[in-house]
Amino acid sequence: MEKEVPPIITWDKAWTVGNKELDAAHKKLVGMIESVFVAIRTAQGVDYIEGVVDELIQYAKYHFTREENLLREQGYERQEGQQREHKKLLNEVTEIGNRIKAESGSEGISDDVFDFLKQWLVEHILEEDRLFQSFLCPI
């Protein structure tokens, strides 16, 4: 019998940035973070957990590159700051990914790892990505 795990993060319409491609990517990241959480909480095994974490990191890299290219193409004035923020976030999520991999064989992965992943995405969307909402979707 599978263990029921309450979600730690679900998509919220308030996080919409007004661009269908970017919103879809953000929704996918939310789902991937939730997958990491479920994989660990249901003790899926080290190889599986590492695969889910690697997929999250690779998708984050892809998404950040795509977002930066879109903003550059559109002439977004804060694009360089966004790029710096993405680099910082990738370093942080890679470090967290390494920590999850190191601890995935034990029950010792603490809730602060999940809190970080959740806050990483939500705060980035709300604080950084929402800044270009009016730029990409002028009224």
Q: What is the rounded distance in angstroms from the CA atom of residue 70 to the CA atom of residue 4?
A: 39
In a domain, 121, yes or no: yes
In a domain, 7, yes or no: no
Single pTM value for the model: 0.79
User: And the tokens for 51?
Assistant: 């695969």
**Count of domains observed in the chain:** 1
The answer to whether 85 and 128 are in contact (CB under 8 A) is yes
- Cα 78 from chain centroid (whole Å): 21
Per-residue pLDDT reduced to its tens digit, 84-129:
888 988 888 888 778 777 776 555 565 667 777 778 777 777 777 7
Q: Which domain holds residue 72?
A: 15-136
